Amino acid sequence: MAETNPFTLAHQAIWTCLEASAEFTAAVRTKVKFTESDRDPWTRLANVQTFPAVAVLPAGGMTRLEADSDQTFVEKEFHIVEASGDQRIDELFDVELAVLRAMAAWRTYVSVTWNSKACILDCTIRTRSEELDRELVNRGIRGWSGICTGKLLFHFTTTDLQE
């Protein structure tokens, strides 16, 4: 099911979009992926040499079932979590810019087909926050982290969802 689930495909497409950017791959040492065999990918961030790091996490959303006679819209939010592993803010800003520039190509990479229909209508970056020493992502190493919150807008026919 995961291979054909449009939400899984979209998550993978965000990673494809990020990793297609040479600037992103040069700026980020560790990609924390929750889709691989590692049950606790955060443990990859064990020492300062593993930073900067980035993770893509699902972050909720909203569904409008039957928005009209045969359309359903799903807004899926996601976080792109950036951890610099460094207290110098410019280290975080380098990763932030690399993420922003990579995601500017979303139309090329974040396209998902489900039931033979394109189902992602839009991708936006909505908010951003920075924090020094965010425990979950910094893993005890002092440094800046950022969370970029984005949204994917999916469109499905209600008929397709009921099949």
Query: What pLDDT does residue 2 have?
Result: 55
pLDDT at 45 exceeding the cut of 80 = no
Q: Residue 120 is part of which domain span?
A: 6-162
List the CATH number of the domain containing 10. Answer: 3.30.2000.10
Question: Does residue 58 sit within a domain?
Answer: yes
Please, which residues bridge with residue 55 across strands? 32, 81
pLDDT at 63 exceeding the cut of 60 = yes
For the chain, what percent of residues have pLDDT higher than 90?
A: 52
Residue 39: Cβ within 10 Å count: 7
pLDDT at 78 exceeding the cut of 90 = yes
pLDDT at 1 exceeding the cut of 60 = no
Q: Please answer whether residues 33 and 54 qualify as being in contact, where contact means their C-beta atoms are separated by less than 8 angstroms.
A: no
Of 44, 110, 109, give the one whose Cα is nearest residue 83: 44
DSSP class of residue 92 equals H
Read off the pLDDT band of 94 (50, 70, 90): very high
Question: Does residue 1 sit within a domain?
Answer: no
Question: Between these two residues, 139 and 6, which has the higher pLDDT value?
Answer: 6
Question: Does residue 154 sit within a domain?
Answer: yes
Question: Does residue 123 sit within a domain?
Answer: yes
Query: What pLDDT does residue 37 have?
Result: 72
CA distances from 67 to 27, 64, 72, 156 (A): 41, 6, 5, 10
Q: Which of 17-21, 40-44, 106-110 has the highest mean pLDDT?
A: 17-21
Question: Does residue 136 sit within a domain?
Answer: yes
Average confidence (pLDDT) over 125-150:
83
pTM of this prediction exceeds 0.85: yes
Query: What pLDDT does residue 143 have?
Result: 87
* Residue ranges with strand state E in 2-70: 30-32, 53-68
The count of domains in the chain is 1
* Residue ranges with strand state E in 7-52: 30-32
Question: Does residue 122 sit within a domain?
Answer: yes
For the chain, give the mean pLDDT: 87
Question: Does residue 54 sit within a domain?
Answer: yes
Average confidence (pLDDT) over 92-121:
92
Position 25: which residue type? T
Query: What pLDDT does residue 7 have?
Result: 94
